Amino acid sequence: MSSEPLLRVENLKTQFFTETGTVRAVDGISFEVREGEIVGLVGESGAGKSVASMSLLRLVENPGEIVAGEITYKGETIFGLEEGPDGELQERDDMLSNEEIRTRIRGNEIAVIFQDPMESLNPVFTVGGQLREFIELNRGLSKDEAKTEAIDMLREVGIPDPEERYEEYPHQFSGGMRQRVLIAMALACEPSLIIADEPTTALDVTVEGQILDLVDDLQDKYGTSFIWVTHDMGVVAEICDRVNVMYLGEIVEQAPVDELFYDTKHPYTNALLNSIPRPDRTVTELEAIEGVMPEAINPPSGCRFHPRCPDAREVCKRVHPEAKTVADADGEAHRAACVKHDAFDAGYEDSSMLEGAVGSTEREPESELAVNPAGDDSGGEGRE
Amino acid sequence: MAVGESQLGSDTESAVDEGDVEARVGWRYTLAQIKQDTTARWGLYVVAFVITVATYAIVDSNLSLLTFGRLPDYAFAQALPIFDHPTRIPPPGEGTQHMPPYFPLAEQSWNPLPAGGTIEHPLGTDHTGRDYFTRIVYGTQVSVFVGIVSTFIGLSIGTIIGAVAGYYGGKTDDILMRVVEMIYSIPPLILIIVFTVFVGGTSIWYAVIGVGITFVPIFARIIRSRVLSIREMDYIEAARASGVKDRNIIMRHVVPNSFAPVLVYATLQIGVTILVVAGLSFLGYGAQPPTPDWGQMLNISHGYMHSNLWLSIWPGLAIMITIMGFNLLGDGLQDALDPRIDD
């Protein structure tokens, strides 16, 4: 378990330089993905999950930019900075060039499955044509070989009559079937890592279950690692091995999945879990997390969660907590970034309760709608 | 029960509707849609007819089949001297029928008027004795191909500029679109005339290129506005994430998905182009004599309007019908390609 991980991200910072200021979408996250495991990346909308996952492929669009950190994949540097002779930070020599990233990493080594299967396929070409072209391009097969391969992949992901469906257009597929096609496309080049960016959010629960089963089966078969970006704690419990909980560009808790659910260490994770219905608890009313996540352009001082934290004390306003190993679960570190676990240094116990901190929203409620109109649909989870 | 039934009914209906909306892609569907629409169908017929005639004029330059071999080839004969000039050698087959009987040669020596229709010359002849029908048919060739070619020039350059500007955004977008707007700000006729003079001389091909250039901004802007929304689609992001080259993304994903409105506009634009080129020929910057062109024929015939009005009417009619054909087809195409319009 302690061998070199497949992917290691250290202190990654991605910022967007907008006219109103610098948006620190991802602010110093570190995590790793080992071979054959599914790592969850969980958080509310706007926590920086998608930006973080796109940063791994260096696909951050203007005006965004990765400004710090190191991404290592299979010993190769996807992103790394060093101090140049003039004292300015510059890209490291061993960093892969854009061309190498495009031809070797994207699609071949790290593939992506996107959120909305309705929009992830080009409507003007046949499903089979797109799959075939993708295989042709990335694996250097001939047209006929790629077609055979494409039909095999379609069969593999459980599409009935793949020879006939091969000739059909995306609009002739249902949402679940399209997501299967996208999974086939992601798996087609047998990548070592697949980034699944909320792949089941747009599907209804029965189809979601089928897709999760499919991913589980395929993962057993191919041994592919996954980064599973989601806001759905139910999916996390179902599929992930380890979980990273993100809040406002930071990872606040990092733990194996069982540990996270049964021995929650961070108040934010706790609040997230309290806000969804759980079969093992009977409550009259779900506890939604008060307020909305502030914008990353001007994050709160100290602990970023303190304005909404039920446990916040005066010290939380001042001290920015570092992630600390707070428990050990079968050799796996359980890390959390909260001053509660830093009691001696920060003086959490002595600190006074924060007046009116809980529920004092920094933003108007409408701003959440603007950030994530889809958020209201996911009624099952309460406030996500 | 009744509620349940009606719900079921509406459900299946909406499902069908959705399927219909989504099935509105592909050539076969578009063509079927146009055939259903009466006006668009007539537009299609006119365009097909005009293009056939234009192509035919190339294949059979004597038009022998079209006129059962009755017409001699005058269309590209040298600009002939004045009709009754002493040195004039009449072309073979030229009869006396086109000589207006009511204007004896002796009296009207300078300006003999063309005759009305006969079996040899269905639309009469022009002031130099050339068969007017032949010239109208040859004029089709010039007008239609000029219309199509210069629209195509504008379309291809405009599409590339618009797609690149829209896809990359930022500075690339700024620079390309400012250049395009500069072209847009010059009055088209002046731009074309200056262009033809600048590249050296009046020729139909310079006019074609000039007209094409004036259309670049319109096409670039249409396609750019489409690309701006298309490039945010997940399949573009997916293509980038799977390592597709930018050039391939633009050609295979961006352009095909933004092309429908441009195609409609191009069809309508062909009509406008024909009109512009006719106008240019009328001014003397387009087709040069003796090449027959409707605009140029109008130009010449307007001097004879009092004597023979038909000389002005025939080319005008030809221009009108052709443009109407392209416009009807364009309108039909617009309806067929727009999934929101339901017949």
* Other beta carbons within 10 Å of B264: 21
Contact A119/B at CB under 8 A: yes
Strands laid side by side in the A193-197 sheet: A110-113, A193-197, A225-230, A38-42, A242-247, A250-256, A332-336, A324-329
DSSP state of A147: H
Sort residue B187 into left (φ over 0), alpha (ψ -120 to 50) or beta. Answer: beta
Tell me if B238 and A59 make a contact (CB, 8 A cut-off): no
Ordered by where they begin, the domains of chain B are 42-61+131-337 (1.10.3720.10)
Cβ atoms of A178 and A203 closer than 8 Å: no
Distances in whole angstroms, Cα of residue B116 to Cα of each of B107, B133, B197: 19, 11, 38
Indicate the pLDDT class of residue A175, thresholds 50, 70 and 90.
confident
Tell me how far apart the alpha carbons of residues A344 and A324 are, in angstroms, rounded to a whole number.
13
- Best mean pLDDT range from A23-37, A360-374, B66-80, B327-341: A23-37
pLDDT tier at B179, thresholds 50, 70, 90: very high
Tell me the shortest Cα–Cα distance from B314 to chain A, in angstroms.
Answer: 44
Contacts A137 to B, Cβ<8 Å: 242-244
The two domains A7-109+192-381 and A110-191 share their CATH topology (first three levels equal): yes
Do residue B234 and residue A119 have CB atoms under 8 angstroms apart? yes
Highest mean pLDDT, choosing among A12-26, A91-105, A327-341, B195-209 = A12-26
* Per-residue confidence (pLDDT) for residue A185, from 0 to 100: 86
Instruction: State the SS3 of B249-309.
Output: HHHHHHHHHHHHHHHHHHHHHHHHHHHHHHHHHHHCCCCCCCCCCHHHHHHHHHHHCCCCC
pLDDT of A371 strictly over 90: no
Q: Taking CB atoms and an 8 Å cut-off, how many pairs form between chains A and B?
A: 68
Q: Distance between CA A152 and CA A188 in Å, rounded?
A: 10
Tell me what percent of the residues of chain A surpass a pLDDT of 70.
Answer: 88
Topology of the domain comprising A110-191: Rossmann fold (3.40.50)
Contact present, A191 and A109 (Cβ < 8 Å): yes
d(CA B121, CA B135): 11
How does DSSP classify residue A353?
B
| Higher pLDDT among residues A241 and A124, named by residue | A241
The residue ranking higher by pLDDT, A373 or A219, is A219
When scoring B18, B232, B236, B242 by the number of chain A Cβ atoms within 10 A, the one with the most, hence best to mutate, is B242
Distance CA B285, CA B190 (A): 11
B27 Cβ under 8 Å from any chain A Cβ: no
Q: Residue ranges of the domains in chain A?
A: 7-109+192-381, 110-191
pLDDT band (50, 70, 90) for residue B142: confident
- Residues of A within 8 A of B242 (CB-CB) are 106-107, 111-112, 134, 137-138, 185
Q: How far apart are CA A290 and CA A311, in angstroms?
A: 13
Report d(CA A299, CA B258) in Å as an integer.
39
Q: What is the pLDDT of residues A59-118, one digit of tens each?
A: 888 788 888 888 888 888 888 887 777 777 777 777 888 888 888 888 888 888 888 877
Q: Does residue A382 have a pLDDT over 60?
A: no
CA distance A174 to A160: 13
| Chain A residues touching residue B256 (CB < 8 angstroms) | 122, 124-125
The pTM score is 0.71
Determine which helix (DSSP H) or strand (DSSP E) holds A66, and give its type and residue range.
strand A64-73
Q: What's the pLDDT score for residue B128?
A: 66
Q: Which segments of B72-169 does DSSP mark as H helices, in order?
A: 132-168
CB contact under 8 A, B243 and A107: yes
Contact A132, A146 (CB under 8 A): yes
Q: Which chain B residue lies closest to A102 (C-alpha atoms)?
A: B243
Mean pLDDT of chain A: 81
Residues contacting residue A232 through CB under 8 Å, at least 6 positions apart: A200, A201, A378, A381, A384
**B11 in A contact zone (CB under 8 Å):** no
- Chain centroid to CA B216: 15
Closest-CA residue of chain A to B249: A122
- 3-state DSSP assignment of residue A220: helix
> Which superfamily does CATH assign the domain made up of A7-109+192-381 to?
P-loop containing nucleotide triphosphate hydrolases (3.40.50.300)
Any CB–CB contact under 8 A between B20 and chain A? no
Chain A environment of B18 (Cβ under 8 Å)? none
Alpha-carbon distances, residue B280 vs A249, A339, B208, B311 (angstroms):
63, 80, 10, 19
Q: Nearest Cβ partner of A102 from B26, B243, B253? A: B243
Q: Which residues contact B55 (CB under 8 A, 6 or more apart)?
A: none
Partners of residue A10 on adjacent β-strands: A70
pLDDT confidence bin for B156, thresholds 50/70/90: very high
**ipTM of model over 0.90:** no
Give tens-digit pLDDT for B239-262: 888 888 888 888 888 888 888 888
> What local confidence, expressed as pLDDT, does residue A306 receive?
84
Q: What is the pLDDT of residue B177?
A: 92
Q: State the pLDDT at residue B159.
A: 92
Quote the percentage of chain A above a pLDDT of 90. Answer: 5
- A182 touches B at CB < 8 Å: yes
Is A123 near chain B, with CB under 8 Å?
A: yes
Q: Any residues with CB less than 8 A from the CB of B76 and at least 6 apart, and which?
A: B61, B138, B290, B291
**Which residue of B25, B173, B234 is the best one to mutate when testing the A interface, meaning the one whose CB has the most A CBs within 10 A?**
B234
By Cβ distance, the residue of A106, A133, A137 closest to B241 is A106
Q: What gap in Å lies between CA A262 and CA B95, rounded to an integer?
A: 108
pLDDT digits (tens, 9 = 90+) for A110-163: 888 888 877 888 888 888 888 888 888 788 888 888 899 899 888 888 888 888
Task: List A residues 146-175 in contact with B (Cβ-Cβ < 8 A).
Answer: 169, 171-172
Rounded Cα distance, A121 and A137, in Å: 17
Distance of CA B129 to the CA centre of its chain: 29
For the stretch B89-119, pLDDT in tens is 444 444 444 443 333 344 443 344 445 555 5
| Torsions phi, psi for A310 (to 5 deg) | -70, -25
Residue ranges of A 61-100 with Cβ closer than 8 A to chain B: 62
* Pick from B234, B239, B241: CB nearest A57: B241
Q: Which residue of B has its CA nearest to A57?
A: B241
Confidence band (pLDDT; 50, 70, 90) for B220? very high
CB contact at 8 A, B254 and B236: yes
Asked if A111 lies within 8 A of B242 by C-beta distance, the reply is yes
Reduce the DSSP state of residue B214 to 3 states and report it. helix
